[in-house]
């Protein structure tokens, strides 16, 4: 399996939209891995996770063709993950296509929002629920409940193909105990997990700082969900977290974790 991190920034990216903080200033000056667009990923070149407002920029940067996509899975409905107006460009009159070329898998709120924005458009929406697996081609995708945007079923994703298991966990706070109980049955090869608040002690329970992120990973190692060969990669970094990419490498490296970056490809 392969996961490509298309974006690894939090809601306002890095450099943050209007940010004049140290991390944003450093990123403007140095570029490279310190430039972070809004979080999204692509599995095996065709299974898309989330649709942020930076999607066009990401496909142009990595020279991808969205016609290759076979499905789009949404984690939750925040604007940095669900830019619903961007979906229209798949269809007539922008293209000759009369049907959306892929189904949209998402919680019922997002499905409803797509249907409201595009009444009678040929878009297939498939409502998903935490802890209920669904198939897509030869994948089994199992949403698990995040502690985030609590007015909807915010989901992290267990994605399995063959004997490989990936968990994509953004956005999430520290999981509720139901999620820890549920994931206890899995052996995970790659975990991509948010580390939004970095070095800053976050007060919002729906996101993780480095300490909380390391705590989650430690718990999953103790449970045996993460094994000795598992890779742990972070995403959804905010400039307000006060950590440049090099700072994250230092802080996370001690715990056998790696900061993700835009364009990173992990094959396993």
Q: Give the range of 78-86, 102-110, 211-219, 221-229 binding Zn ion by CB under 5 A.
A: 78-86
Q: Counting contacts by CB under 5 A, is residue 153 touching Zn ion? A: no
What does the DSSP assignment read for 147-203? SS-TTS--EEEEEEETTEEEEEE-S-SSPPHHHHHHHTT--EEEEEEE-TTBTS---
CB of 138 to Zn ion, least distance (A): 29
Is the Cα dihedral 78, 193, 89, 54 positive or negative? Answer: positive
Nearer to Zn ion, 183 or 208 (CB): 208
Between 34 and 80, whose beta carbon lies closer to Zn ion?
Answer: 80
Q: Binding of Zn ion at residue 50 (CB under 5 A)?
A: no
- CA-to-CA distance for 251 and 214, rounded, in angstroms? 10
Question: Judged by CB under 5 A, which of 78, 200, 221, 231 binds Zn ion?
Answer: 78
Contact call for residues 88 and 100 (beta carbons, < 8 A): no
Pairwise CA distance, residues 25 & 31, whole Å = 10
CA 188, CA 234: separation in Å to the nearest integer?
15
Closest approach, Cβ 76 to Zn ion, in A, equals 6
Task: Name the minimum Å distance from CB 22 to Zn ion.
Answer: 22
Q: Which is nearer to Zn ion, 34 or 171 (CB)?
A: 171
Rank residues 78 and 231 by Cβ distance to Zn ion and give the closer one: 78
Residue in 171, 189, 209, 262 binding Zn ion, rule: CB under 5 A: 171
Stretch that binds Zn ion, among 135-143, 168-176, 184-192, 227-235 (CB under 5 A): 168-176
The CB-of-146 to Zn ion minimum distance in angstroms stands at: 9
Q: What helix, strand, coil percent values describe the chain, rounded to 5?
A: 25, 30, 45
Contact present, 263 and 2 (Cβ < 8 Å): no
Q: Are 168 and 192 in contact (CB under 8 A)?
A: yes
80 makes contact with Zn ion (CB under 5 A): yes
Q: Which residues bind Zn ion (CB under 5 A)?
A: 78, 80, 171
């Amino acid at each position: 399996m392969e996961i490509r991190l298309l974006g690894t920034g939090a809601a306002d990216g890095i450099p943050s939209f209007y940010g004049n903080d140290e991390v944003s200033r450093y990123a403007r000056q140095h570029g490279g891995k310190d430039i972070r667009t809004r979080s999204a990923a692509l599995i095996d070149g065709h299974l898309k996770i989330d649709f942020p407002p930076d999607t066009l920029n990401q496909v142009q940067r990595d020279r991808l063709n969205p016609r290759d996509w076979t499905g789009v899975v949404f984690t939750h409905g925040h604007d940095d993950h669900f830019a619903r107006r961007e979906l229209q460009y798949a269809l007539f009159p922008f293209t000759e296509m009369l049907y959306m070329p892929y189904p949209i898998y998402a919680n019922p709120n997002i499905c409803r929002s797509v249907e409201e924005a595009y009444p009678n458009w040929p878009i297939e929406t498939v409502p998903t629920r935490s802890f209920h697996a669904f198939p897509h081609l030869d994948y089994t995708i199992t949403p698990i409940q995040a502690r985030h945007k609590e007015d909807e079923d915010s989901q992290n994703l267990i994605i399995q193909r063959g004997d490989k298991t990936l968990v994509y966990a953004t956005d999430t706070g520290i999981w509720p105990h139901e999620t820890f109980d549920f994931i206890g049955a899995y052996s995970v090869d790659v975990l991509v997990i948010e580390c939004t608040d970095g070095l800053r002690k976050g007060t919002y329970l729906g996101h993780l700082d480095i300490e909380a992120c390391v705590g989650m990973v430690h718990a999953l190692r103790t449970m045996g969900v993460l094994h000795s060969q598992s890779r742990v990669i972070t995403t959804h970094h905010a400039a307000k977290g006060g950590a440049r990419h090099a700072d994250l490498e230092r802080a996370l490296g001690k715990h056998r974790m790696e900061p993700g970056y835009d364009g990173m490809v992990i094959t396993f």
